[in-house]
Structure 1
Amino acid sequence: MGTHLCSKLEALSSKIKQASVNGRWREVLTGYSEIHRAGIQFNDPFVFPIVFKACAKLSWLFQGKCIQASLLKRGFESFVSVGNSIADFYLKCGDLSSAIREFDCMTWRDSISWNVIVFGLLDHGFEEEGLRWFSTSRVWGFEPNVSTLVLVIHASRSLRLDGEEVHGYVIRSGFCGIPSVQNSILCRYSECDPSSARKLFDEMSERDVISWSVVIRSYVQSQEPVLGLKLFKEMVREAKTEPDCVTVTSVLKACAVLEDIDVGRSVHGFSIQRGFDLVDVFVRNSLIDMYSKGFDVDSAFRVFDETTCRNIVSWNSILAGFVHNQRYDEAVEMFRLMVKEAVEVDEVTLVTLLQVCKFFEQPLPCKSIHCVMIRHGYESNEVALSSLIDAYTSCSLVDDARTVLDLMIYKDVVSCSILISGLARSGRPYEAISIFCQMKDKPNGITVINLLNACSVSADLRKSKWGHGIAIRRGLAISDISVDTSIVDAYAKCGAIDMARRAFDQIPSKNVVSWTVIISAYAINGLPEKALASFEEMKQKGYTPNDVTYLAALSACNHGGLVEKGLMVLKSMVENDHKPSLQHYSCIVDMLSRAGEIDTAMELIKNLPEDVKAGASAWGAILSGCRNHLKKGIITLEAAAEVLELEPLCSSGYLLASSAFAAEKSWEDVAIMRRLVKERKVRVVAGYSMVLEGSSIARRFLAGDKLSQSDSELNDVVQSLHRYMRLDDTTERRNIGPLGLCD
């Protein structure tokens, strides 16, 4: 080769290397093309890795293949460095098969060769294949570099392989002192074994911000946010490592879980000092979430309003914040603003909106959201479908909810549990039980609770016993207090008060809810004295009654006609710093009205606290009292007017008013009630009685129904009931319950 050509070759080679250093990859390939066009032959194999790197950076697959073909003719592929660069080029261009073929054709391989192929496979998401090649490389005695080892650890974490085995290999290979490798092992432990993660963290001689953040996040994710906050305080106190945005995000999550608004404000101030809240959208979204879950949605909105770099998570967080704080009207307004600014909704948005529809019980918006889910392809999202089923059942669209469940490819335990609950609430307990029997997944505690609720709605003692048996077989009886309480409630609503008491006595660790249920059980089964005795027993054993407990005790006094004791319960409630709600006052009004003390009940309504307004139930109790005690005059008219104004589309108010006017022989007013029902197109829902026929069939009867001669067994039951109801002894009449009568 002439002197001129040699100098030109050196100049072009220098140009290629300099362009590579500066990242000017097009100039690298331009220089190589000049050498090729000039017909200059050179033997510097170190230029070719640079050329293939340029092709990889520019994703020029075709040009790289052409260069490889020219090198193959000239025999340069025998150089290990050239073979490594060709395999790396193919991997970075996404041509994995060509990369593996190049690796297989290499005569000589070094550690770089194995690292290139293992790293490339893992980096492209082929985790199982990458780990298989990694195992093969170890058989051949080649060791990974740090980057490859980090990817191997992440792959083993994704595939849920034994973390201790990987950790042991890291120690044996001498990589345990490298911070990036230690942090990868730390991440591996943090997801499945926080205690081992903390142990490794304490053993680390050098901890960077990643190390601290990983352990703090592991505590939060493992439902130990207090330990996460404690570690953050230790990090700040040591002042050796400065927290970053990721650290602050995890800490804010801990505050949100704890609903600790005070610590959250401190962390907010810390993030302002460090400038995190202005530059990082993740921190701002975490602040919105923290304030929302801490029941300070106004502060959450201020953070949202000041955020200039909003994303869909920002909108979803503030939307969920309003829903979480039960400010549904503002959630609707926020969604309208979201639409106005053309923000594309996702499945999280739709789930939140379904909660709003559930609160307002609006069927049409539920169907609209369902259409949006189908258009966006979210019908395979289990969370979205479960929320849709929940919203449909709350909006009395149970058949639509069942259709959604039937169309689901995988009917998970959450979706089935929600539908079971919805069917039970809608008075379709046997369908709910049927859904449970069709479940393929193992039911959890919530599922069994919903099943027991369906059994209680059916008033079928045999079904309740069956539900109790399922709870025992699943290991949930005795161990889960919520399930135990549901068992007591199911037996009570079937009239089996003795079995309810036995189930209650078997609860090892009772709480205020379980005591409330047994008090209610005695109340609904006509045993007010035992209900009040249980109420006193509860207080003697150190349990503090809550508002629901007081309501159960008042209900017992109401149905037992124990006016003086009922007033004493209300007085004790006030003395124990419990503020009576509308439900408590309505119960007292009903109790006084049943006892014929209509004037006293009216006086109570007129003197309710300013923040309590009498509802339809209270006025209905007055109206019922007027009917039963033939209280004539202005009170009946006033009560009827209030009931119809508060519930203009509910048939019970019209029927009750008509009955009260009929008792007063005010036939003109009766005619007015009937005319209003027709004019307002009110759907009249008839009451019914239910009798358990044999041991499995529950039969309903409306007024005027007749039995056929073939129903001899059921005729005998009804005749027995008539005989019991004619008895004068109230104690004997109370024994009707276990026979199966439920009004």
Structure 2
Amino acid sequence: MVMGSHLYSKLQALSSKIKQASVNGKWREVVSGYSEIQSAGIQFNDPFVFPIVFKACAKLSWLLQGRCIQASLLKRGFESYVSVGNSIADFYMKCGDLCSGLRAFDCMNSRDSVSWNVIVFGLLDHGFEEEGLWWFSKLRVWGFEPNVSTLVLVIHACRSLWFDGEKIHGYVIRSGFWRISSVQNSILCLYSEFDSLSARKLFDEMSERDVISWSVVIRSYVQSQEPVLGLELFKEMVREAKTEPDCVTVTSVLKACAVLDDIDVGRSVHGFSIRRGFDLVDVFVRNSLIDMYSKGYDADSAFRVFDETTCRNIVSWNSILAGFVYNQRYDEALEMFRLMKKEALEADEVTLVSLLQVCKFFEHPLPCKSIHGVIIRRGYESNEVALSSLMDAYTSCSLVDDARTVFDSMSYKDVVSCSTMISGLGRCGRSDEAISIFCQMRDKPNAITVISLLSACSVSAVLRTSKWAHGIAIRRGLAINDISVDTSIVDAYAKCGAIDIARRTFDQITEKSIVSWTVIISAYAINGLPDKALASFDEMKRDSYTPNAVTYLAALSACNHGGLVKKGLMIFRSMVEEDQKPSLQHYSCIVDMLSRAGEIDTAMELIKNLPEDVKAGASAWGAILSGCRNRLKSGIITSEVVAEVLELEPLCSSGYLLASSVFAAEKSWVDVAMMRRLVKERNVRVVAGYSMVLEGSIARKFLAGDKLNHSDSELNDVVQRLHRCMRLDDMVGPIN
């Protein structure tokens, strides 16, 4: 009897120890206390302790120990207790052994609401949305109600599977769960995924709103491309002063500022986050600040935030890297990547996409191949954004076949990858392949796809193909609703030589922009109609459109090719007077214009007195060299210009060919021979020029220096075709 009393006291002490350890969250002590009871050989008959032990095993993910405890309970018949059966099923579900959890549920003789909630919660918590919702429907059929935690997960599953929000909303109201804050916010999240208007309506009807409610609706506005409304709601939240914004709220607001490029409001939000202490403790806020400043074209402030961040993660590095790329500060982007490697951080898909943008700018093919190797080794080949960026970089580096290999290897070619490949092939002159890819597309083309197609059609210069692409744009409803598509149609017709159709298309654009005006001015310029180009330039200004740098370049190009030197200089002067800073392209155009007019000395004077931040490129020096050929200037000027051209582009054949023709015109045969020798010594690949003319629906190419191995009759046919292509009635008078 004394012995029995002693064992009973020990059992009570161990039982109390287990319960106390559970209250304090000391799960190891819970399991060790139970093991002590087992080792002592004491018959333990308290069923209320077993759920605590299984909970401890679940917290520790001790699957094997839990199985052993379950086996001992089954031998002693404790599985008949509903609470024990529930704890066993819950243990397996939380350890990720869903099959054992479902088996334990099936073996239960009697079940209560907890039993069903354990299964539904476990399935949904592990991402099995469809199975979890099926069990949820069975739960309702059997007359049991979900608990709050399960219901929140059910609503989340409905959001993931795009289920009808109104049905689950109605169930929540009927079941009496509507007044619970977490359930209200879950329904609000469900609506915010699909319809910001419905989310706002529900938000306005809520009697009690917490910080989650405000943040959800603000984020909903930002995601649905209504950032202005998101900022207005944030201001309302601050004015009411009932609910304090948290880090999540500030992150959404900074995203809105980034979308709007509103750096002034962004700075105010930054000050707000400093006052609340968010910017120091939350890495998400700091990453959002880096992104906001980058999108607002203030890369220096973005870097300052990054530099002051002590808790950097891979997103921080990717944000500043992408920020420098976005602001076209590619050298600094490369420096950041070098620092990133120094910190022993491994590049992910986002990092590689930014690096590919840098490779595209510098046109470095070798790094593109290296990044391609990294994509393969890391298993990023399923990432469509990375592969599309890789194809874009390859085509920019003239590695079109490599880009095509990547494209062909993709198991699913979405609209982004197809658009990228079409654009790249068109840019590299392979318009037939670009059109073929468009015809094989499975997904519905978007505006960017159609713009890429039109660009490829303009390269082919086949009018019939451009009309076909125009028809596609009309059928897709893009030719009226999207000004970018309309502008591309005008450009395609202009490059096909159909200037009248281009003008008619331009006149049909209801809401013109500075871009569309620039395109029509360029259209007239490239088709040898400088007077109409300048008339359009004046018309644009009368319609209160302010020309930008590209528009001025189009007008200067028209003056250049039309020989209108005085008008060109006047336009250039007006550009400077209107605080538009000329770039190298503008100066090169003026140099070319003066050189064509024979004013070589003036062009030389201009090129030698450029602003400090503008350095003359090969195109400007090449223009002077071309002028020397036409006007037979002194050999001293020619030699100086040739030296500049070859230094700037030592591997480009055009400079050598132009220099050779200038020396030949001056009858300096020694220099001609020297040019040919340099071409051989430097392994310069000579690319022949060609002309392409349209005969009916076929574009015919005539290559410079090509030998025709045809009979006299075939040669006569070629000449006749050329005559048919000429439009004598469209020719303008002699250029002054």
The equivalent residue for 1:129 is 131
CA RMSD of aligned residues (A): 2.5
Which secondary structure state, in structure 1, belongs to the residue aligned with residue 708 of structure 2? Answer: coil
Which secondary structure state, in structure 1, belongs to the residue aligned with residue 692 of structure 2? Answer: strand
The equivalent residue for 2:118 is 116
In 2, Cα distance between the equivalents of 1:23 and 1:601? Answer: 83
Contact residue 694 and residue 725 of structure 2 kept, 8 A: no
Alpha-carbon displacement from aligned partner over 1:242-283 (angstroms, at most 9, x marks no partner): 222222222222222223333323322322232222222222
Contact residue 693 and residue 699 of structure 1 kept, 8 A: no
| Residue range with higher mean Cα deviation, 431-440 or 564-573 | 564-573
Contact residue 445 and residue 480 of structure 1 kept, 8 A: yes
In 2, Cα distance between the equivalents of 1:95 and 1:498? Answer: 72
> Is 1:590 matched up with 2:587?
no
In 2, Cα distance between the equivalents of 1:227 and 1:625? Answer: 58
Q: 1:546: Cα distance to partner? A: 1.9
Instruction: Label 1:174 to 1:660 Cα distance change in 2 as closer, same or farther (>3 A).
Output: same
The equivalent residue for 2:338 is 336
The equivalent residue for 1:559 is 561
Instruction: Label 1:25 to 1:619 Cα distance change in 2 as closer, same or farther (>3 A).
Output: closer
In 1, Cα distance between the equivalents of 2:421 and 2:603? Answer: 41
Instruction: Label 1:32 to 1:341 Cα distance change in 2 as closer, same or farther (>3 A).
Output: closer
The equivalent residue for 1:175 is 177
Contact residue 693 and residue 725 of structure 2 kept, 8 A: no
The equivalent residue for 1:320 is 322
Contact residue 250 and residue 269 of structure 2 kept, 8 A: yes
In 2, Cα distance between the equivalents of 1:530 and 1:606? Answer: 33
Match of 2:475 among 473, 476, 495: 473
In 2, Cα distance between the equivalents of 1:511 and 1:261? Answer: 24
In 1, Cα distance between the equivalents of 2:285 and 2:260? Answer: 18
In 1, Cα distance between the equivalents of 2:8 and 2:654? Answer: 106
In 2, Cα distance between the equivalents of 1:210 and 1:732? Answer: 68
Q: 1:584: Cα distance to partner? A: 2.3
Contact residue 688 and residue 703 of structure 1 kept, 8 A: no
Aligned letter for 2:599? E
Q: 1:67: Cα distance to partner? A: 3.5
The equivalent residue for 2:407 is 405
Matches within 5 A, 1:622-661: 622-661=624-663
Instruction: Label 1:57 to 1:621 Cα distance change in 2 as closer, same or farther (>3 A).
Output: closer
> Is 1:716 matched up with 2:717?
yes
Match of 2:538 among 519, 536, 539: 536
Which secondary structure state, in structure 2, belongs to the residue aligned with residue 218 of structure 1? Answer: helix
Contact residue 523 and residue 555 of structure 1 kept, 8 A: yes
Aligned letter for 1:667? W
Alpha-carbon displacement from aligned partner over 1:614-654 (angstroms, at most 9, x marks no partner): 33222222222222233345333333333223222222222
Matches within 5 A, 1:303-382: 303-382=305-384
TM-score by length of 1: 0.92
Aligned letter for 2:701? R
Alpha-carbon displacement from aligned partner over 1:707-737 (angstroms, at most 9, x marks no partner): 523984x843523535998x9xx866469xx
| Residue range with higher mean Cα deviation, 142-151 or 408-417 | 408-417
Aligned letter for 1:166? I
In 2, Cα distance between the equivalents of 1:450 and 1:680? Answer: 36
Matches within 5 A, 1:325-724: 325-706=327-708, 708-709=710-711, 712=714, 715-719=716-720, 721=722
The equivalent residue for 1:49 is 51
In 1, Cα distance between the equivalents of 2:706 and 2:98? Answer: 80
The equivalent residue for 1:263 is 265
Aligned letter for 1:721? L
Instruction: Label 1:662 to 1:199 Cα distance change in 2 as closer, same or farther (>3 A).
Output: same
Alpha-carbon displacement from aligned partner over 1:4-35 (angstroms, at most 9, x marks no partner): 55555444433333333233334434444455
In 1, Cα distance between the equivalents of 2:94 and 2:623? Answer: 78
Contact residue 460 and residue 699 of structure 2 kept, 8 A: no
Alpha-carbon displacement from aligned partner over 1:344-393 (angstroms, at most 9, x marks no partner): 11111111111111111111111111111111111121111111111111
The equivalent residue for 2:70 is 68
In 2, Cα distance between the equivalents of 1:656 and 1:347? Answer: 45
Aligned letter for 2:195? D
Contact residue 724 and residue 733 of structure 1 kept, 8 A: no
Contact residue 351 and residue 384 of structure 1 kept, 8 A: yes
The equivalent residue for 2:153 is 151
Match of 1:215 among 210, 214, 217: 217
Aligned letter for 1:242? E
Aligned letter for 1:461? L
Q: 1:162: Cα distance to partner? A: 0.9
Contact residue 237 and residue 243 of structure 2 kept, 8 A: yes
Contact residue 688 and residue 703 of structure 2 kept, 8 A: no
Q: 1:606: Cα distance to partner? A: 4.1
TM-score by length of 2: 0.93
Q: 1:489: Cα distance to partner? A: 1.3
In 2, Cα distance between the equivalents of 1:79 and 1:145? Answer: 21
In 1, Cα distance between the equivalents of 2:725 and 2:65? Answer: 98
Contact residue 386 and residue 414 of structure 1 kept, 8 A: yes
Aligned letter for 1:641? A
Aligned letter for 1:716? D
Contact residue 80 and residue 110 of structure 1 kept, 8 A: yes
Contact residue 489 and residue 502 of structure 2 kept, 8 A: yes
The equivalent residue for 1:741 is none
Alpha-carbon displacement from aligned partner over 1:690-709 (angstroms, at most 9, x marks no partner): 23355235333322432523
Aligned letter for 2:364? Q
> Is 1:95 matched up with 2:128?
no
> Structure 2: 5+ residue runs without aligned partners?
none
Instruction: Label 1:701 to 1:58 Cα distance change in 2 as closer, same or farther (>3 A).
Output: closer
In 2, Cα distance between the equivalents of 1:692 and 1:479? Answer: 31
Q: 1:191: Cα distance to partner? A: 1.7
In 1, Cα distance between the equivalents of 2:439 and 2:210? Answer: 53
Matches within 5 A, 1:174-213: 174-213=176-215
Q: 1:610: Cα distance to partner? A: 4.0
In 2, Cα distance between the equivalents of 1:724 and 1:447? Answer: 32
The equivalent residue for 1:740 is none
Which secondary structure state, in structure 2, belongs to the residue aligned with residue 191 of structure 1? Answer: helix
Q: 1:36: Cα distance to partner? A: 4.8
In 2, Cα distance between the equivalents of 1:559 and 1:731? Answer: 20
Instruction: Label 1:61 to 1:676 Cα distance change in 2 as closer, same or farther (>3 A).
Output: closer
Alpha-carbon displacement from aligned partner over 1:653-673 (angstroms, at most 9, x marks no partner): 222222222222233332333
Match of 1:104 among 87, 103, 106: 106
Instruction: Label 1:114 to 1:690 Cα distance change in 2 as closer, same or farther (>3 A).
Output: same
Q: 1:50: Cα distance to partner? A: 2.3
Contact residue 707 and residue 715 of structure 1 kept, 8 A: no
> Is 1:289 matched up with 2:291?
yes
Contact residue 460 and residue 698 of structure 1 kept, 8 A: no
| Residue range with higher mean Cα deviation, 442-451 or 16-25 | 16-25
In 1, Cα distance between the equivalents of 2:128 and 2:151? Answer: 15
The equivalent residue for 1:80 is 82
